[in-house]
Structure 1
Amino acid sequence: MAVSKQKSAADLAARNNAPPKALLEAYRQVLLCVFIATLFIIVLLAISVIKISLLPTVILAGALGAFFSSLMRLYRYEDLPKALVGDGPRLHSFYLVIYSLVPMLIGAIAAAVLYVAFASGYIKGTLFPEFDCYKDLTCDAFKDFVQNYGPKPPDGFAKVLVWGFLSGFSERLVPDLLLKITKSTEAKDRS
């Protein structure tokens, strides 16, 4: 009798700590939306007829970094397999789709900001790409900046893509770098 009371108390405690089915279904739908969005991005990159310049590629690398981070968070969620194969009510809400795309949007914005920080010369060092106007081209207008100004090849391309991915993967990377730049600029202004 005492064993059955202990077992039922443990079952009750486990049920109280278990996430509701609606939450599990939300995780299932978020995973599905993020997966479909990533497949769409990969297909866009795989189509060789579309010529994509470096800046949009870096932005996509940031989005993929954020997607990878989101997948890792979902993968660590213990009850995710139950959510993926279990029965439950379907949540067909627009907010869920938007919620699943927010990390990738933040990753894309962070990658673009980091790219501009590299291009401006605010962030320098051996781990960071050096930017220059490509040979025999001018960089006098914004259009030229986007098309003709970029990292020095070949390692600069790889560095900017890696940093783009990292900026999407690490949610605090770009905000922390911006805070550092702001503090150093303020310190220079005071002296």
Structure 2
Amino acid sequence: MSAIERQQYLQKITQRLVTFTGAALVLIALGLYGFIKINSCDPAEICKERSYLVLLVFVSGLLGGFVSIQQRLPSIELDELKVLSSSWVSITLIPINGGIFALVLMLMFAGHIIQGQLFPVYPDTFAISDAKTFFIWLEKAYPENGVDIAKLLFWSFVAGFSERFVPQIIRKTSSEIIEEKQKQP
């Protein structure tokens, strides 16, 4: 009976994950389409360059979280499966955290906190001084080239897939800053 019960819980959790992730992707796509439609250029107007990379970063993290939980489900104990199958919050929190971690990681790349050949490079062309310039940055800030965009989306997926990745970077960076301050006279 426990093998059948286990399979039923796995199916219920998977259905909820697929439903949530699919709904989130559809809502993001519709929101993006609506935003583009509302802000589309008139023929007489000069079109501004726009980037919705922030949404793609969130989606990459969301998908990373989805794949991560899917891979872990078969090894989860029956009691935990029972709890997960009865709670939408517990199931959807992992992909949502993945999207949030991907956005935090993007900010770390843009702020040059994480640098190296494996990571995307952002140009230092924006001066953010208020809410308006922040939203302009969100709309137009993107890595230097297509290769760096691919790196950003890859690392965004990793941030969602490995839920400890971004918190470990934050802890390590915080520790390094504290150590540097303690060394100063």
What corresponds to 2:73 in structure 1?
74
What corresponds to 1:86 in structure 2?
none
What corresponds to 1:5 in structure 2?
none
| Count of equivalent residues | 160
Q: TM-score, normalised by structure 1?
A: 0.71
Q: Deviations over 1:69-98 (max 9, x none)?
A: 11111245699xxx9xxxxxxx9x995222
Question: 3-state DSSP class of the match of 2:159?
Answer: helix
The question of whether the paired residues in 2 share the 8 Å contact of 1:62 and 1:107 is answered with yes
What corresponds to 2:45 in structure 1?
none
What corresponds to 1:35 in structure 2?
18
> Gaps (5+ residues) in structure 1?
1-14, 84-90
2-structure distance, mates of 1:146, 1:95: 37
What corresponds to 1:164 in structure 2?
156
What corresponds to 1:155 in structure 2?
147
Q: Deviations over 1:24-61 (max 9, x none)?
A: 54432211111112223444577784557011110110
The question of whether the paired residues in 1 share the 8 Å contact of 2:62 and 2:160 is answered with yes
Q: TM-score, normalised by structure 2?
A: 0.73
**RMSD after superposition:** 3.1
2-structure distance, mates of 1:46, 1:75: 31
The question of whether the paired residues in 2 share the 8 Å contact of 1:58 and 1:112 is answered with yes
1-structure distance, mates of 2:74, 2:52: 33
What corresponds to 2:58 in structure 1?
59
What corresponds to 2:40 in structure 1?
none
Q: CA deviation at 1:158?
A: 0.6
Equivalent positions of 1:1-191 (< 5 A) are 18=2, 21=5, 24-43=7-26, 49=33, 51=36, 53-75=52-74, 96-132=87-123, 139-140=127-128, 141-191=133-183
Question: 3-state DSSP class of the match of 2:142?
Answer: strand
Instruction: Mark the CA change 1:160 to 1:75 in structure 2 (over 3 Å): closer, same or farther.
Output: same
Instruction: Mark the CA change 1:116 to 1:95 in structure 2 (over 3 Å): closer, same or farther.
Output: farther
Higher Cα Rg, which structure = 1
Instruction: Mark the CA change 1:183 to 1:78 in structure 2 (over 3 Å): closer, same or farther.
Output: closer
2-structure distance, mates of 1:72, 1:189: 41
Q: CA deviation at 1:149?
A: 2.0
2-structure distance, mates of 1:153, 1:44: 28
Task: Report % sequence identity.
Answer: 26
Q: CA deviation at 1:176?
A: 0.8
The question of whether the paired residues in 1 share the 8 Å contact of 2:12 and 2:85 is answered with no
Question: 3-state DSSP class of the match of 2:123?
Answer: strand
